Amino acid sequence: MNLALFDLDNTLLTGDSDFERAQFLITKGVVDRELQEAKNIQFYEQYKAGTLDIYEFLNFQLAPLTRHSREELDAWHREYMARHILPIIGQPARTLVKQHLDARDLCAIVTATNSFVTGAICREFGIPHLIGTIPAVDLQNGRFSGGPRGTPSFRDGKIERVESWLESLGLWWGSFADSYFYSDSHNDLPLMCKVKTPVAVDPDDTLRAHAGKMGWKIITLR
């Protein structure tokens, strides 16, 4: 059995699901355009530089979830999927995922983006497992309470979350003949260095240079 792990944003998707969700909420009048776009630029520059404070980012991104009922959020999410996500799922990504699923590999999306946003995207790909950042929920009323619960699935946190998931299945890294992780970002180097076959997908400059130095495969899904 093989293990196939996929980053989501700018890897399986040709864009960023958090950015697209922000744009969707702006069009709905749910968030302020000027503030949202300024913060998006700030966080994106920090992400590219490898200096992103994941908790500051998540607290900002998850705040709109706290102001609306789950029923309203779910209805918006269906519209968001149709308008913003399906257009950025390319056939090459669908084909890659299908190859691993057909081979009966154990497949999971591993993403820093929260599971409320990414759950439906994971299901669209037919991938059975999602390791995403978990938004905290008030168990008394089911509403999101703001901020993450547990370890965010970001940088070294992706390793912690993947290993906890494998442990829950009675597995570990040595359980697999081969293990893959597909990503576009140098922020994913910790997890890429854990698998046997890291694959750089339309990589940023830092990851491209590292992949070239290490002899890793570089592909495009565009």
Q: Evaluate if residue 140 carries a pLDDT over 90.
A: no
The residue type at 115: S
Q: Evaluate if residue 142 carries a pLDDT over 90.
A: no
Q: Is 118 exposed, middle or buried (0-12, 13-18, 19+ CB in 10 A)?
A: buried
| DSSP per-residue letters across 46-96 | HHHHT---HHHHHHHHHGGGGGS-HHHHHHHHHHHIIIIIGGGB-HHHHHH
pLDDT digits (tens, 9 = 90+) for 46-85: 988 889 999 999 999 999 999 998 899 999 999 999 999 9
pLDDT at position 138 is 87
Which tokens sit at 137?
């929920």
Q: Evaluate if residue 141 carries a pLDDT over 90.
A: no
Confidence tier at 44 by pLDDT (50, 70, 90): confident
Confidence tier at 209 by pLDDT (50, 70, 90): very high
| Span 104-112, average pLDDT | 98
Report which of 72, 65, 71 is spatially closest to residue 149, judged by C-alpha positions.
65
Is 9 one of the annotated active-site residues of the chain? Answer: yes
What percentage of the chain carries pLDDT values higher than 90?
88
- Residue 44 DSSP label: H
Average pLDDT, the chain: 95
- pTM: predicted TM-score of the whole model, two decimal places: 0.95
Which residues, 6 or more positions from 101, have their beta carbon under 8 angstroms from its beta carbon? Answer: 107, 126, 127
| DSSP per-residue letters across 6-22 | E-IIIIIBSS-HHHHHH
pLDDT digits (tens, 9 = 90+) for 166-187: 999 999 999 999 999 999 999 9
* Cα separation, 220 vs 18, whole angstroms: 21
| Span 14-40, average pLDDT | 92
Q: Evaluate if residue 13 carries a pLDDT over 90.
A: yes
* Cα separation, 197 vs 167, whole angstroms: 21
Report which of 128, 113, 141, 134 is spatially closest to residue 8, judged by C-alpha positions.
113
Q: Which CATH fold would you assign to the domain 3-219?
A: Rossmann fold (3.40.50)
Q: Domain boundaries in the chain?
A: 3-219
Contact 108, 100 (CB under 8 A): no
Check the CA dihedral 35-23-11-54 and report its sign: positive
